[in-house]
């Protein structure tokens, strides 16, 4: 286990991180991303696009996140956390505004579908590129200023804010939908600049890491393999659950398309609430990150197995709630494990490597999940259950080897 005087420990008596503005940044980012997802269906029809076109638009943000997470992390090690975090949030705000204005123009001018698709892809990619800096650098800020034993709790605080955004984005879209299709987007657009101003005011200047002859840890660094593997598996499984539920509701539960959409929306709202509750609980517990991974992985595996067997909407919802509760334990533990495994000047690169692995899971999950679904509706859930069981086994094995937790 990492001790306070180990290489990954922060300097003695560091100033506590500006937690509230970090939480607001995470909340506003996920709220904006999910608010757009909530209006994607109607936009697909109004812009003359095919459903798979919008699938590409949704996926491109994950690809951009995967590509840029480590880049932002390494740059924050070299240039300091504050400038990179402010740049990321400012860029996200501008990219989101540009995307909304493009949608307004595309609807007003009846753009050709190909041009509309191109604009949406560019806009969502820009949002993913810049938002990748926010969770990555926020994790590095926590690692800089919190002792190893307390990192999972602080990561859980930021994670709970992000989970709240997952619920608030679709919820706001539902409440304001009658006022106009783009009204929820304009409302959520107002939030990131507020978070940016608060971070600019509260986040203290920081010095870049001292120059070290060694290059930053790369993806082959054995110290990060456990955290990256857990991060990939968690995102992979969550992505499967998100993309499969609508099909499952139609084919297994017998809903029509409209009913399946409503069922999927309810399930995802339950997921957000369960994630928030679990991460709030983690903040109050004194549990090692490795233990959180093992407990959360076991819960998630059970939830996926229950979902695979579901014959009713209630059982499916219960399964998703259990999955989300487990993921709420795993998510804050993963960056804490990575942070505890590396030295202070490597924190940004480590957080970025984990972010890249998570982004890769978001991209691969829907592809393999839909392929597995072609075999039988329950197969994707069983694949996810097996992956979570693998996470538990991997965490136990790493603990026996004495890797930092």
In whole angstroms, what is the distance from residue 162 CA to residue 173 CA? 17
Residues 378 and 234 in one domain: yes
Q: Please state, in angstroms and rounded to a whole number, the distance separating the CA atoms of residues 130 and 68.
A: 8
**Residue 127, C-beta contacts closer than 8 angstroms, at least 6 positions apart:** 32, 33, 61, 64, 92, 95, 96, 99
Residues 265 and 327 grouped into a single domain: yes
CATH at 147: 1.20.1250.20
The Cα–Cα gap between 124 and 165 comes to 17
Q: What is the pLDDT of residues 139-160, one digit of tens each?
A: 888 888 888 878 888 888 887 7
In a domain, 306, yes or no: yes
The answer to whether residues 242 and 377 belong to one domain is yes
- pLDDT tens-digit series, residues 298-348: 999 999 999 999 999 999 999 999 999 999 999 889 988 988 888 888 888
350 neighbors 76 (Cβ within 8 angstroms)? no
Q: Are residues 175 and 231 in the same domain?
A: no
Could you say which of 204, 232, 253 is where a domain stops?
204
Of 176, 204, 232, the residue at which a domain comes to its end is 204
The answer to the question of residue 85 being in a domain is yes
Which structural domain, as residue segments, surrounds residue 386? 222-405
Number of domains in the chain: 2
Task: Mark whether 262 and 345 lie in a shared domain.
Answer: yes
Q: How much of the chain exceeds pLDDT 90, in percent? A: 36
106 shares its domain with 232? no
Closest CA to 275 of 149, 161, 360, 386: 161
Is residue 129 situated within a structural domain?
Answer: yes
In-domain check, residue 78: yes
CB distance 310 to 319 below 8 Å:
yes
Q: Do 195 and 252 lie in a common domain?
A: no
Q: Does residue 63 form part of some domain?
A: yes
The span from the CA of 355 to the CA of 231, in Å, is 8
In which residue are the tokens 């609430």 written?
273
Regarding whether 382 and 324 lie in a shared domain, the answer is yes
**Quick check: is 214 in a domain?**
no
Per-residue pLDDT of the chain (405 residues; tens, 9 = 90+): 444 444 555 544 455 567 889 999 999 998 888 888 777 777 888 888 887 787 788 778 888 988 898 899 999 988 889 999 999 999 999 999 999 999 999 999 988 989 999 999 999 999 999 999 998 999 888 888 888 878 888 888 887 788 778 777 776 766 776 677 788 889 889 999 999 999 999 888 876 655 444 667 777 788 889 999 999 999 899 888 887 887 888 889 888 766 776 777 788 778 878 988 898 888 888 888 999 999 999 999 999 999 999 999 999 999 999 999 999 999 889 988 988 888 888 888 888 888 888 888 888 888 888 888 889 999 999 999 999 999 999 999 888 876 555
Instruction: Tell me which residue of 208, 404, 157, 186 sits closest to 289, measured CA to CA.
Output: 404
Domain membership flag for residue 320: yes
- 112: in domain: yes
Of 8, 2, 397, 364, the C-alpha closest to 225 is 397
Structure tokens at 180: 């106009």
As a whole number, the mean pLDDT across the chain is 85
Question: Final residue of a domain: which of 134, 169, 204?
Answer: 204
**Do 230 and 128 fall into the same domain?**
no
Is 160 in the same domain as 250?
no
d(CA 82, CA 46): 40
| Same domain (yes/no): 113, 199 | yes
Same domain, 180 and 264: no
């Amino acid at each position: 286990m990492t001790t306070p005087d180990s290489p990954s420990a922060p300097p003695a008596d560091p100033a506590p991180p500006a937690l509230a503005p970090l939480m607001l940044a995470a909340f506003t980012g996920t709220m904006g991303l999910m608010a757009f997802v909530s209006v994607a269906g109607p936009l697909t029809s109004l812009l003359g696009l095919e459903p798979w076109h919008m699938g590409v638009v949704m996926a491109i943000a994950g690809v951009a996140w995967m590509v840029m997470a480590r880049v932002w992390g390494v740059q924050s090690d070299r240039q300091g956390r504050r400038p990179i975090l402010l740049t990321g949030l400012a860029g996200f705000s501008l990219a989101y505004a540009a995307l909304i204005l493009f949608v307004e123009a595309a609807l007003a001018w009846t753009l050709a579908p190909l041009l509309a698709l191109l604009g949406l892809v560019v806009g969502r990619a820009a949002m993913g590129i810049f938002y990748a800096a926010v969770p990555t650098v926020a994790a590095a800020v926590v690692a800089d200023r919190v002792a190893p034993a307390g990192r999972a709790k602080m990561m859980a605080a930021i994670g709970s804010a992000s989970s709240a955004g997952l619920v608030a984005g679709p919820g706001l879209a539902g409440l304001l939908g009658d006022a106009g299709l783009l009204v929820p987007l304009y409302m959520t657009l107002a939030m990131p600049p507020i978070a940016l101003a608060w971070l600019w005011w509260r986040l203290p200047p920081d010095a870049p890491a001292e120059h070290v002859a060694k290059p930053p840890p790369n993806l082959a660094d054995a110290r990060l393999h456990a955290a990256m593997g857990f991060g990939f598996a968690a995102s992979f499984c969550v992505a499967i659950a998100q993309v499969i539920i609508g099909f499952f509701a139609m084919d297994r539960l017998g809903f029509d398309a409209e009913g399946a959409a409503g069922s999927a929306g309810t399930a995802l709202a339950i997921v957000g609430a369960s994630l928030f509750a679990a991460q709030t609980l983690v903040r109050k517990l004194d549990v090692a990150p490795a233990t959180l991974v093992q407990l959360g992985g076991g819960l998630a595996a059970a939830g996926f197995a229950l979902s695979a067997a579901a014959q009713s909407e209630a059982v499916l919802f219960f399964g998703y709630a259990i999955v989300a509760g487990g993921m709420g334990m795993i998510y804050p533990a993963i960056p804490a494990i990575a942070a505890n495994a590396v030295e202070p000047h490597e924190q940004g690169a480590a957080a970025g490597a984990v972010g890249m692995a998570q982004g890769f899971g978001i991209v691969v999950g829907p592809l393999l999940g839909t392929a597995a679904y072609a075999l039988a509706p329950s197969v994707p859930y069983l694949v996810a259950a097996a992956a979570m069981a693998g996470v538990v086994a991997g965490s136990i094995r790493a603990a026996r080897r004495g890797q930092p937790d």
